[in-house]
Copies of this chain bind each other. A is one copy, B any other.
Amino acid sequence: MERIPVIDCDVHQTGSFAEYIAESWRRVRSPGNMPWPGALGHSVLRPDAVPPGGGTPGSDPAYLIHHLLEGEQIDWAILTGESLQANTHSNAHFALAYAEGYNDWLIEKWLSFDPRFKGSMMVAPQDIPGSVREVERVGDHPDIVQIVMSSSLTNLLGKSYYWPLFEVAEAKGLPIAIHPGAEGAGITRPTAAGYPSYYSEWHTMLPTGYMTHLISLVCEGVFEKFPKLRVVLIEGGVSWAAPLMWRFDKNWKGLRSEVPWLKRLPSEYIKECVRFTTQPIEEPESLDRLLALYDEIDAYHTVMFSSDYPHWDFDSPRVVFRGFPEELKRRILFENARELYNIGA
């Protein structure tokens, strides 16, 4: 059988980029307080991903290529960094300076290193006009393929507050991705009812924030206003989307007079404009039941592979799709991301 090319939609390159941050902001030490100091009792990073020369897992481009891309037979990596706590910092000026420094470092150290690296540029959701300027500054770089933000935000993602960013993202053909990890950090909250106690509890709750953002995006009419905008839900789970669409479509049928700008079923907007990444993939006993829910959300067009390297709960592309139909596997491992990010064009 022909080998399916693989695009990994969530690879965390790491390392310090302090010298890339504008000097006046370099002294701000922490990008945001994480609520889980040592909650796991160990790092969230894979110890076997430490580069041979030492340093943080994910910090050496050459070793990342050797260990992840060649080791797992992955052809392209969408880099998402490890710095989204800055999206939750109280100081919007610092958050933007931090994003600018990150983007310069991403381009210079990573995207220039190897054409298999594609970049997710940072913005600062605390400062949307500044974020728009930053997209105008670096968003045309040929290897910048999307804009990534923390999924932990102070506003629901569909609100008009974010629309200037959506406008420039649509104009430049850059999807907006959200990524978890900072829920409850800085100025954000992890749930409507406060803080969970444990890392595993917090981690199990992560999809709930994604659900609220997804519902908000549809209800506010974002996909009518910006029909070419694509939104990528990274690491937020996949199979919950099917029951959510059932409830959403039913409510729309009964209550659509309230949102007259929506011309189609909510599920139709989601299937056309939203993409989900797989890691951490759900693993029920019955693969058929998982595949039924993948079918409900048209996974053939909406789901993309991600490994989350070098995090502890890494998914290998050679393992996690065992039993999937061959053509669906090809769409998830390769085609959906190729089409979205225009890779290999």
Binds B, one of A21-29, A66-74, A79-87, A282-290: A282-290
Q: Is A345 an interface residue (CB 8 A)?
A: no
The answer to whether A246 and B239 touch across the interface, beta carbons within 8 angstroms, is yes
Q: Is A327 an interface residue (CB 8 A)?
A: no
A284 to chain B, nearest CB (A): 5
Binds B, one of A47-55, A102-110, A202-210: A202-210
Binds B, one of A9-17, A169-177, A247-255: A247-255
Q: How many residues of A contact B (CB 8 A)?
A: 69
The proximity string for A residues 269-306 relative to B, scoring 1 for CB distances below 8 Å and 0 otherwise, is 00000000000101110100110110010000000000
**Which residues from 236 to 258 on chain A have a C-beta closer than 8 Å to any C-beta of chain B?**
237, 239-240, 242-244, 246-248, 250-252, 254-258
Q: A192–B157 Cα gap in the complex (Å)?
A: 12
Chain B residues with CB under 8 Å of A312's CB are: 254
Q: A284–B248 Cα gap in the complex (Å)?
A: 11
Chain B residues with CB under 8 Å of A192's CB are: 152, 183, 188-192, 208-209, 212
The answer to whether B41 and A193 touch across the interface, beta carbons within 8 angstroms, is no
**Which residues from 1 to 49 on chain A have a C-beta closer than 8 Å to any C-beta of chain B?**
39-41
The answer to whether A247 and B204 touch across the interface, beta carbons within 8 angstroms, is yes
Q: A312–B266 Cα gap in the complex (Å)?
A: 21
Contact A196 to B212, CB < 8 A, known contacts A41-B258, A296-B284:
yes
Residue in A192, A195, A219 whose Cβ sees the most chain B Cβ within 10 Å: A192
The answer to whether B296 and A289 touch across the interface, beta carbons within 8 angstroms, is yes
Contact A243 to B250, CB < 8 A, known contacts A196-B216, A196-B219:
no
Chain B residues with CB under 8 Å of A40's CB are: 255, 258
Q: Is A344 an interface residue (CB 8 A)?
A: no
Q: A292–B291 Cα gap in the complex (Å)?
A: 12
Q: Is A213 an interface residue (CB 8 A)?
A: yes
Q: A176–B254 Cα gap in the complex (Å)?
A: 30
Which of B201, B243, B266 is close to A282, meaning CB atoms less than 8 Å apart? B243
Chain B residues with CB under 8 Å of A266's CB are: 204
The answer to whether A215 and B205 touch across the interface, beta carbons within 8 angstroms, is yes
Residue in A157, A216, A220, A259 whose Cβ sees the most chain B Cβ within 10 Å: A216
In order of increasing CB-CB distance, the 10 nearest A-B pairs are A200-B255, A201-B219, A208-B208, A239-B243, A246-B282, A191-B212, A240-B243, A189-B192, A246-B284, A156-B193
Give 5 A-B contacts (CB < 8 Å), ordered by A residue.
A189-B189, A199-B255, A208-B209, A208-B212, A250-B282
